[in-house]
Chains A and B, each alone.
Chain A
Amino acid sequence: MLELTTLWAALAVYTLAGALAVHGVNHGALRERALLVLLVAGILLHALSLGVRWERLGHGPFITMYEILSSNICSLLMLFALVYWRIPAVRPTAAIITPVVLVMMAWLLVQSPDARSVPPTYDTGWLYVHVGFGKAFLGALLVAVGIGGVVLARRTAAGAARFAALPDSAHLDALAYRFLAFALVFETFMLIAGAIWAQDAWGRYWAWDPLETWAFLTWLLLAFALHLRAAMRLRPAVGAALAIGVFVLAFLTFFGVPFFTTAPHQGAI
């Protein structure tokens, strides 16, 4: 009961935070501190809900789509809240990032919260390392998407007016690049930890299963986006579009692969 109550409360607080962010940016008066308080409150409630479920089931939120979505919503917003707190320049991107997370929340609500048993191969510390880096990777990408979204929104008159207080697009682009760069580092660590786990669990470190294949494609696209900057001077809008492209591919890899293949990651078996 506490698990569901705190989850619903967290989702309500997130929704409120999203509404505050969009309203604030639209009216040129973002209440930055109130937004941070809401984000932190939502994250604490959500973490409590996840903790209660963990305690009840005896395993972390790694098994079902419900658990994976729920824990990712929490971790993405946790990482964004950290960046929001430390880098004031990105605060208005909350108006872009929170709606993205709200879509994930809507998806979460249509998932079955039923539990499934844990495969024995999940009994390893590498699971936490792999999942942890995966969350850091997706979080860094999401921040880059928020910043890229601002750059693209500024190409319209309305967007230019609403995000006028932010640094110029060239600086935002440089900031987005930093998050993309760290996303590459986190994804590299995620792949390595996953390979170590796979070697222990299934006797092979890489088998080109659909999730591995698409995770590697995401890594390649990220490497491509970073090399493109070394090869030519990109316009901020192109950099923003690349960041969004990488995020879309990563999102499809994380949450979409199970929908178009009957043989997803062996971890699920």
Chain B
Amino acid sequence: MQQRAMIAARGRAVPTRWWPRLAGLGSVHLTLWLIGLLALGVAAVHLDPGPPGWTVALPLAALALNLAGAIAVHPALRTQAALLAFHVALLVVVLLAAASRLTYLKGTLELSDGVEFDGVLVSEERGPLHDRVLGRVTFASLGYSVHYEPELQRARTRNRVSYGDARGVRRETVIGDDTPLRLSGYRFYTTPNKGYAPEVVWIPADRSAASRGTVHLPSFPAQLARQETRWTPPGAARALTLRLELEERIVDLEGRWTLRLPRSHTLRVRASAGEDDVLLRPGDTHRFRDGTLHYAGLRMWMGYKVYYDWSLPWMLAAAALAACALGWHFVAKFARAPWQRPAQDGAA
């Protein structure tokens, strides 16, 4: 009742049943509490790093309601176009962020040179409403170059890829850590995760269908001293250990260098603890108990990040509008009184 009277006294009398509640919801005092609560939630993110949970989502949702209420009932917001534009744009940013969390996708994948992406991700994180159409996206790595500065500082990565565009036409482009390949709304970026991939052909002992593929060794040069992995061939009972032995120096810790395929190397293969290692060069074949391994040669693999968020351009537009409107509001507001002796300004 008191609230209604106050509203009437300010000449904004719309005495509906909901008005006092809206006024309470849009109260600037509530804004202060919610900003404080959000700040605590954000501080909690620092203490427990990672994507924020309800400690940020709840205060943000409450602030969005508070903001919506304020836009509906606060006279200063409704009579100052720039301030109103700022708050509406801010509300849109919050709503877009929420919608984005429901529909985003973030993942990683690995591809050897020349191998087509088949839609399978190594890891992924996505919103519950993400309609995954990655299987329809086609691209392949055609090779890459990574330059290094002294002390293993990674410089520019350039990865040539071929992809099918929206009309199915095959095209080529160069991507990198900061230049994504954009396909069907997905953005693919190269990463520091990359290395060597022996290409092998496995013919099972029972002479069933042979399989050709690549085995990704650990990331290079991050795992320089551990270029080894265990791999179980299709249909085999035992895993093989594959170890790459470089016969030249690729990495220069003190100088500039470029990651490349070695000119000379061997692939050391171990079947089990009691057996002798087998050294294979490209083109060599060796028969193991479970089948025959043909070493076709060495390729490189690249790890990619994939990111999907349809809201990006809208989020940018809303955020830019918010910042411009805020600037416009303050410029107009402060122009009313001289800077030498400013009047008492309130936030509105």
Q: Does A171 have its Cβ within 8 Å of any Cβ on chain B? A: yes
B104 to chain A: closest residue by CB: A204
Q: Which of A199, A213, A221, A224 contacts B45 (CB 8 A)?
A: A213
**CB-based contact A175/B155 at 8 Å:** no
A-B contact pairs, 13 of them (CB 8 A): A117-B149, A175-B339, A177-B345, A185-B327, A196-B316, A205-B315, A208-B45, A213-B46, A217-B42, A217-B43, A221-B39, A224-B32, A229-B346
- Say yes or no for A125: interface residue by CB 8 A criterion: no
Which of A40-48, A85-93, A101-109, A148-156 is the contact stretch?
Answer: A85-93
Q: Are A203 and B187 in contact (CB under 8 A)?
A: yes
**B135 close to A (CB within 8 Å):** no
Q: Does A184 contact B (CB under 8 A)?
A: yes
From the candidates B31, B49, B316, name the one contacting A192 in the complex (CB within 8 A). Answer: B316
Residue of chain B at shortest CB distance from A181: B330
Residues of A contacting B32 in the complex (Cβ-Cβ under 8 angstroms): 224, 227-228, 231
In whole angstroms, how far apart are the Cα atoms of A185 and B327 in the complex? 6
Q: Which of B116-124, B176-184, B290-298 touches A? A: B176-184
Contact between B38 and A220, CB atoms less than 8 A apart: yes
Judge whether B323 and A124 touch: CB under 8 Å. no
With contacts A120-B178, A208-B50 known, is A199 near B39, CB below 8 A? no
Considering the complex of A and B, which 7 residue pairs feature the smallest CB-CB distances, nearest first? A230-B347, A174-B342, A117-B149, A188-B323, A203-B189, A120-B156, A185-B327
Contact indicator per residue, chain A 209-226, by CB within 8 Å of chain B (1) or not (0): 010011011001101101
The residue on A at minimum CB distance from B340 is A89
Given the complex, which residues of B lie within 8 Å of A175, measured CB to CB?
339, 342
Chain B positions near chain A (C-beta within 8 angstroms) = 28-29, 31-32, 35-36, 38-39, 42-43, 45-46, 49-52, 76, 106, 149-150, 153-157, 176-180, 187, 189, 305, 307, 312, 315-316, 319-320, 322-323, 326-327, 330, 334, 339-348
Rounded to whole angstroms, the CA-CA distance of A201 and B334 in the bound complex is: 37
CB atoms of B347 and A192 under 8 A apart: no
- Kindly provide the distance from the CB of A205 to the nearest chain B CB, expressed in whole angstroms: 7
Please state if B180 and A174 are interface contacts (CB–CB under 8 Å): no
In the docked arrangement, what's the CA distance between A173 and B157, Å? 51
| Whole-angstrom CA separation of A213 from B48 in the bound complex | 12
Which residue on A lies nearest to B43, using beta carbons?
Answer: A217
Q: Is A64 an interface residue (CB 8 A)?
A: no
Bound-complex Cα distance A203 to B166 (A): 22
Complex CA–CA separation, A203 to B107 (angstroms): 11
**Cα(A124)–Cα(B176), bound, Å:** 13
Q: Is A182 an interface residue (CB 8 A)?
A: yes
Q: How many A-B residue contacts, CB cutoff 8 Å?
A: 131
Q: Which of under 10, 10 to 19, 20 to 34, or 35 or more describes the interface residues of A?
A: 35 or more
A203 touches B347 (CB 8 A): no
Using CB atoms, name the residue of chain B closest to A172: B342
Chain A facing B: main interface SS: helix
Q: Kindly state whether residue A26 has any CB partner on chain B within 8 Å.
A: no
Closest residue of chain B to A197 (Cβ to Cβ) is B178
Contact between chains at A192 and B307 (CB < 8 Å) = no
A181 to B343: give the CA distance in the assembly, Å.
14
Contact between B346 and A230 (Cβ–Cβ < 8 Å)? yes
Determine the chain A residues whose CB is within 8 A of the CB of B339 once the complex forms.
86-87, 89, 175, 178
Cβ distance B173 to chain A, nearest Cβ, rounded Å = 16
6 further interface pairs, Cβ-Cβ under 8 Å (given A195-B316, A213-B42): A89-B340, A117-B150, A120-B156, A200-B179, A203-B180, A213-B46
**Distance between B322 CB and nearest chain A CB, rounded to angstroms:** 7
Per the bound structure, the CA–CA distance linking A200 and B39 in Å amounts to: 27
Residue of A nearest to B309 (CB): A205
In the complex where A213-B42, A227-B35 touch, is A185 in contact with B180 (Cβ < 8 A)? no
A28 CA / B297 CA spacing, docked (Å): 83
Instruction: List the A side residues contacting B154 at CB < 8 Å.
Output: 120
Chain B residues within an 8 Å CB radius of A192:
316, 319-320, 323
A170 CA to B334 CA, complexed, in Å: 16
- Chain B residues contacting A89 (CB-CB under 8 Å) are 339-341
Binary contact readout A121-165 vs B (1 if CB under 8 angstroms, 0 otherwise) = 101100000000000000000000000000000000000000000
Q: How far is the CA of A228 from the CA of B348 in the complex (A)?
A: 11
Contact across chains for A117 and B155 when beta carbons are under 8 A apart: yes
**Chain B: CB-nearest residue to A257:** B46
Task: Report yes or no: B347 in contact with A224, Cβ–Cβ below 8 A.
Answer: no
Cα distance A224–B76 in the bound complex, in angstroms:
17
Q: Are A178 and B334 in contact (CB under 8 A)?
A: yes
A226 contacts which chain B residues (CB < 8 A)? 347
A224 contacts B330, C-beta separation under 8 Å? no
Q: Which residues of A contact B305 (CB under 8 A)?
A: 203
CA distance A219 to B5 in the complex (A): 36
**A120 near B177 (CB under 8 angstroms)?**
yes
CB distance from B68 to the nearest CB of A (A): 16
B49 close to A208 (CB less than 8 A) = yes
Q: Would B28 and A188 count as touching, CB distance under 8 A?
A: no
- With the chains together, A205 CA to B312 CA distance in Å? 9
Cα separation A216 to B43 with both chains bound (whole Å): 10
Min distance, Cβ B109 to any Cβ of chain A, angstroms: 13
**Residue among B51, B178, B320 with the highest chain A CB neighbour number at 10 A:** B178
